[in-house]
Amino acid sequence: MYSIDNDNPINYENVEDALNKFLSALGDKKLASEEIPVADSLGRILYDDIVAQFDLPTHDLAQTDGYAINSADVALADDGNPVCVEIVENTHITKNKIIKLEKNQGIKISSGALLPQNTNAVVSPEFTSVEGNCIKVFKSVISGENVYKKGDDIKQNNVFIRKQRKVRPLDIGGMINLGFKKVKVFKKPVISVMPVGDELLNINEKLEPGKIYETNSYVLRGLIKQLGGISEIMPIVKDNPAMIKTSIEKALKISDVVIISGGSSIGADDFTYEAIKNFKNSKMISNDIAMRPGKHTLLAYIDEKPVIGLSGHPAANVTAFLVFVKSLIVQLAGNPRSFWQEHKDNVRLDAVLEKDVESPLDTDDYIRVRLKKQDNGRITAYPYAGKPSSLSTLVKAHGYVKLPADCTKLYEGDRVEVLLF
C-alpha cells in the first residue's frame, strides 16, 4: 500500500507480512531455564516434560468404604447362598501399614486405605450383614472391584505433563502429588520500556502547558506482566538521536526485548528510526505498517535482540503491542503449544455491532469497542472512533474488532468477533 505525502511515496507493509518477517527473524529462539519451587510455578511455562518418579497410587487402595476381601473367597456368593468371611481388623485412611490376611479373611476398610495382602476387592456394606466377628457376603465380586490399583493414575517413568505447558493450579497439585519440590521453567522475558518525548513528564513533576504525563510505560508494564514477562522501565528520554541511542545501549544490556514508546512516526522531531540505524549491527524489519492505529510501528533487531518502536499515542501504542510484541513475548517465554491455551490467553466474544464503522482500503483497522449485555441476553459492541491519542477510548473499551484490509465497512447489526483486552 502506498501513501503520497508531499510527492514522497510511503510503502505501508501488510500487517501479516510484517509480523511474519519479525517472528521469522527471531527464529525458534526461546529463553534459558531456571529452577523454581513447584508451589511458585503458577503461570510459568514448563521447560521439560514432567515424568512420574513413581507409580501413583503407590499401592492398591480402597476406592470406597466397605470390606477388603479376596474375590475368590466369595466367587459363589449370592442372595440365596451367602459366604461367611472372618473380619480380623479395622483399618482407616490414616493407617499406613500393610497387613496380610489368610483365606476367608477380610477387614473393614475406609476409602483411600491400603489394601491388605491377599485381598483384591472391596465389597460394599449394603451387600453384607454382620454376625459377630464375621460378615455374610451376598454378592460375588471380581478382582479389582472398588479398588484403586497401583499405577492406575500414572505409572513410573511415564510423561505426566508435557513440556511447554503453562502451569495451572491443577498442575501444581499433580506435581506435588508425584513428589516434585522444584520444577524447571523458562525464564521470564525481560522487556525494557523506554519512553521518548520532549513533552513527557514524570508523574511526580508539576504539569505545565504543552506537557503531558508519561502513561504508556505503566500500561505496557501491566500488559507485559499479564503475559508473564518482567518490565524494566527506563527514564524518559528527550527527542535526541544520541540520547535515544545511549538509552537503547543501556536497555540492550539488561533485557531480552527493547520497546521504545514514542518517537516512531514521520514527524520532524522523531528520531527513533535514526537512532536504531546508527547501530552497526542493527537490522530494520519493517517501518510504516498498513494498520490503524499504529501505522508507524517500527520493528527491528539490534545484536539479534528485538527492538520495537511504538507510537506515543496511547491507542496506537497498545494496539501495536498486542499485534506484534505479544506474540514475541509468548514465544520467548516458552510458547505453550496447545489450542486451548491459545483460546484461554486470547479470549474472544461474539457480539452485535451497535453502529456503522468505516475503514480505509488496504489497511487492517482495529476498532475499540465497549460491550454491553442487553436484557434479552444479546451482547452488543459499541465502536469508538476516537483518535489514536485518545486515552479515554482505551479506558472505556473492553476490546477491539479487527477489520481486515479488504473490508472497508461494517454495518449496525453485523455480528463481529471481539478480542478482549
Span 61-148 CATH architecture: Beta Complex (2.170)
Q: What is the pLDDT of residue 91?
A: 62
Distance CA 147, CA 128 (A): 18
Q: Is pLDDT at 97 greater than 50 in this prediction?
A: yes
List pLDDT tens digits, range 4-34: 344 444 678 999 999 999 999 998 888 999 9
pLDDT tens-place string over residues 287-313: 889 999 999 999 999 999 999 999 999
- Domain 347-420 in CATH: superfamily? MoeA, C-terminal, domain IV (2.40.340.10)
Region 2-30+188-338: CATH code: 3.40.980.10
C-alpha closest to that of 13 among 412, 382, 362: 362
- In the chain, CATH 3.40.980.10 sits at 2-30+188-338
Residue position matching grid coordinates 525481560: 190
For the residues 356-368, what does the mean pLDDT come to?
93
Q: CATH 2.40.340.10 in the chain: give the residue spans.
A: 347-420
Q: Which CATH number fits domain 34-52+158-186: 3.40.640.10, 3.40.30.10, 3.90.105.10, 3.55.40.20?
A: 3.90.105.10
Give me the pLDDT at residue 265, please.
58
Residue with cell 501504542: 317
Residue 347 in grid coordinates: 479470549
In contact, 251 and 232? CB cutoff 8 Å: yes
Q: How far apart are the first and last CA of the chain?
A: 28
For the stretch 105-162, pLDDT in tens is 999 999 999 999 999 999 999 999 998 889 999 999 999 999 999 999 999 999 999 9
Q: Answer yes or no: is pLDDT of 53 > 80.
A: yes
Per-residue model confidence as pLDDT tens digits over 228-287: 999 999 999 998 999 999 999 999 999 999 999 997 655 544 688 899 999 999 999 998
Residues of the chain with CATH 3.90.105.10: 34-52+158-186
